[in-house]
């Protein structure tokens, strides 16, 4: 970890700094004594107020500098010129919307990534670029190691794979030290309101129906957000440029299993409303993490039950505050 590197202070750049994972990555980097530049264009994919609250926690730290910039359009040279590590988490998320708003995904996931890599060609002290990719690059069946064929089943997955390939060619042609991390089903406090576990918990706590797409037998390998953050920093610290790693929590459950766990943990019965399967939805995701464990010494530490308990507590408090 950074904090063990003889107290050396790193200049870090985090794109997507106002988001679910990005804001918690920034917090951890700051806690470890680093200076962090955060970039976000605050897209309206979900309410801006949520992102503003994430930023408020960061802005109180004098070692954090926020830049409201659009990677796909704004000048970037000045903000990247003195950074040691870049964590590229900014992206347009979500599978369903990618079918109907592909221009947004092309702009934010491909064009923005290309412009960021282009701006890094002259960054004199750059040591590592960590790109946050996704299990969606594998397609409907994301079960196996990093050698599994990449066959995205949605436009979202296609744009993320394209960004991975941009990292590959910028590494090969210009020496930009890019590492790809393929995140698997990230959850925990702060999770985006459109994501499955957030929607499930919110519905159960409010005694409202859960929209369950498909038959509920989709298998997910879930990764708690603090484990994702730890893996992301480990990649900057110890990974070899040009490498790719799966990042997953190790526990495989069906979506129905998760709903049953939430019922047990909340002491409430879920109202389940069955809906047609979504186009391009993944059927099975489960990360083989032997490589990242062997190469970087990283492994998940938070069990699914513990992580869901923490997320339930966070969402319960959020609901209480909103009602006060």
Output the tens digit of pLDDT for each of the chain's 324 residues: 444 445 679 999 999 999 999 999 999 999 999 999 999 999 999 999 999 999 999 999 999 999 999 999 999 999 999 999 999 999 999 999 999 999 999 999 999 999 999 999 989 899 999 999 999 999 999 998 999 999 999 999 999 999 999 999 999 999 999 999 999 999 999 999 999 999 999 999 999 999 999 999 999 999 999 999 999 999 999 999 999 999 999 889 999 999 999 999 999 999 999 999 999 999 999 999 999 999 999 999 999 999 999 999 999 999 999 998
Question: How high is the pLDDT of residue 161?
Answer: 98
The pTM score is 0.95
Question: How high is the pLDDT of residue 4?
Answer: 40
- Taking CA atoms, 165 is separated from 44, 131, 171, in Å, by 27, 11, 10
Question: How high is the pLDDT of residue 110?
Answer: 98
Question: How high is the pLDDT of residue 2?
Answer: 44
Q: How is the chain split into domains, by residue range?
A: 2-323
- Do the strands 219-224 and 251-254 form a parallel or antiparallel pair, or are they unpaired? antiparallel
Question: How high is the pLDDT of residue 308?
Answer: 98
Which secondary structure element, helix H or strand E, spans residue 252, and what is its range? strand 251-254
- Taking CA atoms, 122 is separated from 77, 81, 115, 213, 310, in Å, by 8, 7, 13, 46, 42
What one-character DSSP code corresponds to residue 124?
T
Task: Tell me the C-alpha distance between 314 and 306, whole Å.
Answer: 13
Which residues carry out catalysis?
156
Task: Indicate the class that CATH gives domain 2-323.
Answer: alpha beta
What one-character DSSP code corresponds to residue 240?
P
Question: How high is the pLDDT of residue 198?
Answer: 97
Q: Give the pair of three-digit tokens for residue 131.
A: 């790109």
Question: How high is the pLDDT of residue 324?
Answer: 83
Backbone φ and ψ for 247, nearest 5 degrees, come out as -130, 110
């Amino acid at each position: 970890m950074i904090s063990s590197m003889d107290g050396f202070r790193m200049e870090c750049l985090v794109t997507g700094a106002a988001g679910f994972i990005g804001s918690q990555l920034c917090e951890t980097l700051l806690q470890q004594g680093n200076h962090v530049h955060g970039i976000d264009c605050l897209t309206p994919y979900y309410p801006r107020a949520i992102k503003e609250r994430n930023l408020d926690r960061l802005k109180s730290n004098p070692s954090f500098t926020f830049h409201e910039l659009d990677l796909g359009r704004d000048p970037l040279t000045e903000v990247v010129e003195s950074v040691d590590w870049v964590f590229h988490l900014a992206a347009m998320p979500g599978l369903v919307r990618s079918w109907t708003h592909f221009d947004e995904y092309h702009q934010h996931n491909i064009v923005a990534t290309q412009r960021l890599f282009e701006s890094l060609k002259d960054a004199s002290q750059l040591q590592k670029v960590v790109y946050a990719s996704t299990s969606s690059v594998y397609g409907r069946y994301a079960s196996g190691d990093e050698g599994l064929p990449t066959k995205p089943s949605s436009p979202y997955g296609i744009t993320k794979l394209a960004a991975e390939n941009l990292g590959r060619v910028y590494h090969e042609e210009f020496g930009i030290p890019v590492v790809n991390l393929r995140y698997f089903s990230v959850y925990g406090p702060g999770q985006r309101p459109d994501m499955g576990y957030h929607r499930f918990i919110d519905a159960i706590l409010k005694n409202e129906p859960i929209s369950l797409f498909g038959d509920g037998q989709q298998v997910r390998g879930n990764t708690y957000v603090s484990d994702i953050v730890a893996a992301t920093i480990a990649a900057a610290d110890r990974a070899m440029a040009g490498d790719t790693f799966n990042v997953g929590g190790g526990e495989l459950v069906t979506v129905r299993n998760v709903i049953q766990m939430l019922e047990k943990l909340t002491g409430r019965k879920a109202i389940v409303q069955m809906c047609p399967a979504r186009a391009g939805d993944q059927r099975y995701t489960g990360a083989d993490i032997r490589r990242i464990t062997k190469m970087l010494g990283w492994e998940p530490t938070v069990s699914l039950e513990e992580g869901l308990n923490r997320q339930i507590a966070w969402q319960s408090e959020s609901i209480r505050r909103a009602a006060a």
